């Protein structure tokens, strides 16, 4: 609880994964991947309850062993095409009402309790309805473009970009997938954490923003964990 508001953390951890099989329980520095997010939620000073939603019995059992509550999601919410909101809504509807929902994706093992509490603090500071974590992009998208089939780079960059050094370009930020916070009523009404109004960014450093999708991401997270 924070400022008399209650927070339910939901960790959606599906059993299947095409790019990195069984990634949510791959052992990262001695712990299954999902456990890093479970522990971050449990160590938060403000989160009242941590719930793991999964279709996979092994993931549910591991999560339970490390202190999370669990909910078995139906088969219809376990496919590649299942919408993330539907998964969250299923979990929300199976627990009593909380003022805010905090989505913690298990693929962000370098996000910790401090980040979660800072994001919740920002929620209060801004009097916001939603907070979503971002990280500064490694390279400006102004230095990127699509390519035609013949690979021609004619017009690849705009003239005003060509005259600037990379460090002089405007900063861009990307979603890092680590933290999504939203007022429960607004989330259910708009069916998205991306509210139309009164939503703000919580900026995280790039090192803490590794999002594990492929093996190279896993190896990067492992390296950072082992050297920090």
Q: What is the CATH number of the domain that holds 36?
A: 3.90.550.10
68 and 57 co-located in one domain = yes
- What does the pLDDT read at residue 156? 94
- What does the pLDDT read at residue 80? 66
198 and 130 co-located in one domain = yes
- What does the pLDDT read at residue 162? 86
- What does the pLDDT read at residue 16? 78
153 and 89 co-located in one domain = no
Domain that holds residue 86: 7-136+174-226
- In sign, the C-alpha dihedral spanning 124, 126, 132, 136 is negative
57 and 151 co-located in one domain = no
69 and 143 co-located in one domain = no
Task: Tell me whether residue 2 is in a domain.
Answer: no
167 and 205 co-located in one domain = no
- What does the pLDDT read at residue 81? 65
pLDDT tens, the chain, 228 aa long: 999 999 999 999 998 777 788 999 999 999 999 999 999 999 999 999 999 999 999 999 999 999 999 999 987 777 666 678 999 999 999 999 999 999 999 999 999 999 999 999 999 999 999 999 999 998 899 999 999 999 999 999 988 888 888 788 899 999 999 999 999 999 999 999 999 999 999 999 999 999 999 999 999 999 999 998
Phi, psi (degrees; rounded to nearest 5) at 180: -130, 125
Q: Which helix (DSSP H) or strand (DSSP E) does residue 225 occupy?
A: helix 215-226
Task: Tell me whether residue 1 is in a domain.
Answer: no
145 and 129 co-located in one domain = no
129 and 33 co-located in one domain = yes
26 and 107 co-located in one domain = yes
82 and 167 co-located in one domain = no
116 and 220 co-located in one domain = yes
3-state secondary structure of 72: strand
CB 49 within 8 Å of CB 41: no
3-state secondary structure of 59: helix
Q: How many domains, the chain?
A: 2
Of 155, 171, 187, the one marking the end of a domain is: 171
| DSSP-derived pairing of the beta strands 7-12 and 69-72 | unpaired
Phi, psi (degrees; rounded to nearest 5) at 25: -125, 15
The radius of gyration computed from the CA coordinates of the chain, to the nearest angstrom, equals 19
Task: Tell me whether residue 32 is in a domain.
Answer: yes
- What does the pLDDT read at residue 165? 81
Task: Tell me whether residue 166 is in a domain.
Answer: yes
- In sign, the C-alpha dihedral spanning 93, 21, 205, 163 is negative
159 forms beta bridges with none
């Amino acid at each position: 609880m924070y400022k008399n508001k209650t927070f339910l953390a939901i960790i959606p951890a599906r059993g299947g994964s095409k790019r990195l099989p069984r990634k949510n329980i791959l052992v990262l520095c001695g712990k299954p991947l999902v456990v890093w997010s479970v522990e971050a939620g449990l160590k938060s000073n403000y989160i009242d309850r941590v719930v793991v939603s999964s279709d996979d019995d092994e993931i549910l059992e591991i999560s339970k062993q490390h202190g999370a509550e669990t909910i078995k999601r139906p088969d219809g919410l376990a496919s590649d095409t299942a919408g993330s909101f539907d998964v969250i809504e299923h979990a929300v509807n199976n627990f009593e009402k909380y003022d805010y929902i905090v989505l913690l994706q298990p693929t962000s093992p370098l996000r910790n309790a401090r980040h979660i509490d800072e994001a919740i603090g920002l929620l209060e500071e801004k009097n916001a309805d939603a907070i979503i974590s971002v990280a500064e992009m490694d390279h400006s998208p102004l230095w990127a473009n699509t390519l035609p089939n013949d690979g021609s780079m004619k017009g690849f960059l705009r003239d005003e970009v060509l005259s600037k050094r990379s460090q002089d370009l405007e900063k861009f930020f990307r979603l890092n997938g680590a933290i999504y916070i939203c007022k429960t009523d607004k989330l259910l009404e708009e069916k998205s954490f991306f509210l139309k109004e009164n939503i703000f960014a919580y900026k995280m450093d790039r090192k803490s923003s590794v999002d594990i999708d492929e093996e190279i991401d896993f190896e990067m997270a492992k390296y950072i964990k082992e050297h920090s």
